[in-house]
Structure 1
Amino acid sequence: MAGSDPIHINTRIRENAQSLASALEQHMLKSFAPDARKQLRVFSAGEAADLLGISASFLRKLHFEERIPDVATSAGGRRSYSAEDLLTIRHHLEANAKARGTYLKGRRPGTDGEPGDKVQVLSFLNFKGGSGKTTSAIHAAQRFALKGYRVLAVDIDPQASLTTLFGYQPEYDFLHAGSIYDAIRYEDPLPFSSIIQKTYFPGLDLAPGGLILQEFEHETPTALRNNIQPPFYARMAAALQEVENDYDIIVFDCPPQLGYLTMSALCASTGVLITVVPNMLDVASMSQFLQMSADLLDVVSNAGARMEFDFLRFLINRYEPSDGPQQQVVAFLRQLFGSEVMVAPMLKSTAISDAGLTQQTIYEVERSAFHRSTYDRAMESLNAVNDEIEALLQQAWGR
């Protein structure tokens, strides 16, 4: 009996890739209008008050006294707030606040010859896939934007999951041009401003990722041999200098590997958040990751890279409080690293994973789409994590 035909792996992988791309495109067409970019939902009065940092009764009083612009109101008298409304109201409140920075808490310029606040650059990293880097990075970026900060999200992962969550198809939209690669490449790099995309979140811009970022990993050894300047570890920081005055916070979503891209982000960062899932396999992987990171960063430090951070924190991710072994791992990490382990863990939640099915985040989906307690639990967890990070940023600015 004749044997089965051999599989040409390159052909089969290409067929699988094309099938998957087509299926994903159909999925997106079902979720969103064919010619539409994603749009952000509106927020209730309670959500608006929380984001503005005021009480719901004070928000109603502001409307009643006509001290802030009016917003859309339903037939039943319920107000709804777009993200643009929130930003406008925030500026009105700040203009009349007794203390500067009460409602706009971003960077402040220097006075009397003193330097102003530096831009805060956060890297979310771990070299183990599935540790929640992208989920953590995008929720942090969106939360900061909703709270009035000027935010730039930078996707340096060739898989470009962060870019996809913002409604782009990187394999089509940025296949040949328009990604972060164009701003850091060794030959004729483009101005960083030319690759920035506005998003549907007011105050939140995106520097897209894409598969072409792999070229940076491939080209760097040759660039090092040829002494092309600036070297790989300084290219990201150098490129960001053009636009950093436009932002309060820059958030890097790093690839799940300790390569040249990750190190270039680390050398541009002021804060590092290492995501870790609390099981011993992940902790063992993190041990290797930390050792490798230290060895490689020693090398680039000796070559002249800046290695000073305002903070480093371990972010417990996909945490299940009822899981005994996970509790033991978290206790082990807290005993080992003390205050470097964040107080608030990011809980494992079906709401977060289900939102991802339609390429959305918890901040984008409606509460009515989920069981209320499931949604509220996920939202409380995310807010606690991101507000703790915000406190670290404020502390770094000396507040």
Structure 2
Amino acid sequence: HGPQPQPNGRRLYSVEDIDRLRQFLDEANSKAPGKYIRHRRAGEKLQILSVMNFKGGSAKTTTAAHLAQFLSLRGYRVLAIDLDPQASLSAMFGHQPELDVGPNETIYGAIRYDEECRSILEIVRSTYTPNLHLIPGNLELMEFEHETPKVLSSRQPGTMFFARLGECLAEIESAYDVVVIDCPPQLGFLTLSALCAATAVIITVHPQMLDVMSMSQFLLMTSDLLSVVENAGGNTDYDWMRYLVTRFEPNDGPQSQMAGFMRSIFGNRVLENAMLKSTAISDAGLTKQTLYEVERGQFTRGTYDRALESLTLVNGEIEELIRKTWGRK
């Protein structure tokens, strides 16, 4: 059974076909159940990955989108949360922020302070990728940045701002294996909330002097703010934190020097693999698609293959970090 051969002898499998194959192989493999289905097992905690940088243009949303989709295609149950008011991640996953996302339909609806606060269960959406759900964003998210100072100054009773996102995710924890949060390019209350909810942090860095200087400022400010949050009872204990070199051009001498400089300072906190700069990724973005969705024939073979290999190596390395956290080989 299954997909029949094409005229050229190849078989084409949909994501649903692959999921059915995983189920079949797992049921047939009674000696090692759970080998093909990659869902969390008893005792393995939900992984919440916050993808962030203080500076725009560091490929943060591109990284979050491809990571979430890669993990879902690998068989994990993934929730992507768009915490950026610009909502580029939502658009990439088929939900146009100004047209498809109404009032109270972002994560703000679940973390707001007034009586209009609703359950996170009501705002999770499906996407066109099986195993991948989305909580979209739009400009409404800025309300959290405006309301939080008022609540803090009035000493209003209730959960502190930095714990609200984590409490929401606890409601749906059993339905997912991994949560990927695309943070806004600023160090506000939304970003601090994502840092406190996270079990791991990925900081995207474009390897140029101004970007690395900006990142160092971001880290200094984050350190100061997290100390305050920690004293107030916030969680800042991560399983791992990694820097990801993005939009990397291996033949660019200054970029290679800067990447080497980062590795000399941060050691193995820098992911071994870098995300290459590629016209294939940027061209796919023009039509609000990821590289996993576009046809290979749209590009010269070498361009597409290099970009796909780069993404697969980066995302595979992150998957391995998740599996190590769970204690899997």
Asked if TM exceeds 0.5, the reply is yes
Q: CA deviation at 1:72?
A: 4.7
| 2:21 aligns with one of 89, 102, 105 | 89
Letter in 2 for 1:215: E
When the two chains are superposed, the root-mean-square deviation of aligned CA atoms in Å is: 1.1
> Partners of 2:245 and 2:28 in 1: how far apart?
39
Aligned residues: 325
Deviation sequence 1:335-362 (CA, Å, 0-9, x none): 0000000000000000000000101000
Deviations 1:117-176 (A, max 9, x none): 100000000010000110000100000000000000000000000001111111122142
Structure 2 residue 126 is the aligned partner of structure 1 residue 126:
no
Question: Quick one: higher RCO (CA 8 Å, sep 6+), 1 or 2?
Answer: 2
Find the residue that maps to 1:322 and give its secondary structure. coil
Is 2:101 aligned against 1:101? no
Does the C-alpha gap of structure 1 residues 72 and 237 become closer, same or farther in structure 2, counting only changes over 3 Å? Answer: farther
Matches within 5 A, 1:4-19: none
* 8 Å contact from structure 1 (residues 186, 228) kept in 2: no
Match of 1:262 in 2: 191
Larger Rg: 1
Q: Output one character per residue of 1:45-71: Cα deviation in whole Å (capped at 9) or x when no partner.
A: xxxxxxxxxxxxxxxxxxxxxxxx412
Q: Map residues 142-291 of structure 1 onto 2, 5 A cutoff.
A: 142-188=69-115, 189-225=117-153, 226-291=155-220
**1:120/1:271 contact within 8 Å kept:** yes
Q: Which amino acid aligns with 1:376?
A: D
Q: How do residues 372-387 of structure 1 correspond to structure 2 at under 5 angstroms? A: 372-387=301-316
1:173-201 CA distance string (max 9 Å, x none): 21423111111111131110100000110
Alignment identity in percent? 55
Deviation at 1:102, TM superposition (A): 2.0
Q: Structure 2 CA distance, aligned partners of 1:169 and 1:341?
A: 33
Q: Is the 8 A contact 1:345 1:381 kept in 2?
A: yes
Partner deviation per Cα, 1:301-339 (whole Å, 9 max, x = no partner): 000011110000000000000011011101110000000
Please tell me whether the aligned partners of residues 175 and 212 of structure 1 are also in contact (alpha carbons under 8 angstroms).
Answer: no
Is the 1:346–1:385 Cα contact (8 Å) retained in structure 2? yes
* CA deviation after TM superposition for structure 1 residue 75, in Å: 3.5
* Displacement of 1:267: 0.6
Q: Separation in 2 of the partners of 1:231 and 1:179?
A: 19
Aligned counterparts of 1:395 and 1:205: Cα–Cα separation in 2: 24
Q: What is the rounded CA distance, in whole Å, between the counterparts of 1:209 and 1:152 in structure 2?
A: 13
State the 1:96 CA deviation.
2.3
Structure 1 alignment gaps of length 5 or more: 1-68, 110-115
Match of 1:52 in 2: none
Contact persistence 1:107–1:117 (CA under 8 A):
yes
Please state whether the residue corresponding to 2:312 is helix, strand or coil: helix
Native 8 Å contact 1:175 1:211 kept in 2: no
Instruction: Name stretches of at least 5 consecutive residues in structure 2 with no aligned partner.
Output: none
Shift of 1:214: 0.2
SS in 1 for 2:179: strand
Separation in 2, partners of 1:186, 1:156: 17
Structure 2 residue matching 1:77: 3-state secondary structure:
coil
Residue identity matched to 1:283: V
Alpha-carbon distance between aligned partners in 1 of 2:106 and 2:4, rounded to the nearest angstrom: 37
AA paired with 1:83? V
Does 1:306 find its partner at 2:253? no
Query: Distance between the aligned counterparts of 1:243 and 1:203, measured in 2?
Result: 14
Q: Distance in 1 between matches of 2:7 and 2:250?
A: 42
- Give the distance between the partners of 2:143 and 2:44, measured in 1 at CA: 34
Corresponding position of 1:70? 2
Report SS of the residue matched to 2:36. coil
Aligned position for 1:10 = none
For the residue of structure 2 that corresponds to 1:252, the secondary structure is: strand
1:367 is the counterpart of 2:296: yes
**1:224, distance to aligned residue in structure 2 (A):** 1.3
Partner of 2:262: 333
